[in-house]
Structure 1
Amino acid sequence: MRTPVSTIRNLGPAVEAACTAAGIPDAETLRALGAEAAYAKLIGSGMKPHFIGYCAMVMGLQGRPWNDCHGDEKKALRARFDSLKAQIAATPEDELERLLDEIGVRAR
């Protein structure tokens, strides 16, 4: 029997739905992937990257509260998050939309 993602500390129904959409069907798969690979899959499936969400996942997989990360540990986690975001290349469509937004072509 597979365990729902939402049984992992700090991860609720919204994260569970995002994981399912990204091809992470259960807590066992998430644990096997680890936070970085799982978060990369989430971003790749269209989820907007968010540092606190990443922290919540990392801390949850360690069985810790989402806000239990401080000082040097938080700085190191931020560096890992920023590196992860940089590794995930934007698609040409994303870049086009960013440029259209930047020059004000699209309606807001």
Structure 2
Amino acid sequence: MAAISSIRNIGPASEAMYNAAGIMTAEDLRQMGADAAYAKLLETGNRPHFIGYYALHMALQGRPWNDCKGEEKKALRVKFDAIKASHFNAPKSELDAFMDQIGLIDRR
């Protein structure tokens, strides 16, 4: 079984995050796929970051992290926003909580 950091563009810090989320090997990560693995990171408390998400997609394809452009990047942004919305509950500020309570926050 290969270490996650054996995948191009994934370093020791990212490997530690995946390990903490229960994803221990490169094979596990490849089998899960980018979307499920990123959702697992968010479920375990990691903050969402679009670059990390699309860099993971590029890494699993063996491409440079900054190879994502144009329509491909736009499509990944839509998927990232959906994963973030369903797997990450950021604490609300008092103002946001109040605005939500009185119906001023858009709930898309």
Structure 2 length as normaliser, TM-score? 0.83
Per the alignment, residue 49 of structure 2 pairs with 50
Per the alignment, residue 28 of structure 1 pairs with 27
Q: Quick one: distance in 2 between partners of 1:101 and 1:12?
A: 38
Give 2:66's aligned amino acid: N
Segments of structure 2 that go 5 or more residues without pairing to the other structure are 98-108
Q: Quick one: distance in 2 between partners of 1:39 and 1:89?
A: 11
Per the alignment, residue 106 of structure 1 pairs with none
1:77-96 aligned at under 5 Å gives the runs: 77-90=76-89, 94-95=90-91
Q: Quick one: distance in 2 between partners of 1:101 and 1:8?
A: 42
Question: Quick one: percent identity of the two aligned structures?
Answer: 56
Three-state SS of the structure 1 residue aligned to 2:65 is: coil
Per the alignment, residue 66 of structure 1 pairs with 65
Segments of structure 1 that go 5 or more residues without pairing to the other structure are 104-108
Three-state SS of the structure 2 residue aligned to 1:47 is: coil
How many residue pairs get aligned? The number is 97
Check conservation: 2:35, 2:83, Cα contact below 8 A.
yes
Per the alignment, residue 16 of structure 2 pairs with 17
Per the alignment, residue 38 of structure 2 pairs with 39
Per the alignment, residue 99 of structure 1 pairs with 93
Q: Quick one: distance in 1 between partners of 2:61 and 2:12?
A: 19
Q: CA RMSD in A?
A: 1.7
Q: Quick one: distance in 2 between partners of 1:101 and 1:55?
A: 32
Q: Quick one: distance in 2 between partners of 1:88 and 1:61?
A: 21
> Which aligned segments of 4 or more residues in structure 1 are displaced greater than 4 angstroms?
100-103
Give 2:69's aligned amino acid: H
Three-state SS of the structure 1 residue aligned to 2:75 is: helix
Structure 1 length as normaliser, TM-score? 0.83
Give 1:58's aligned amino acid: H
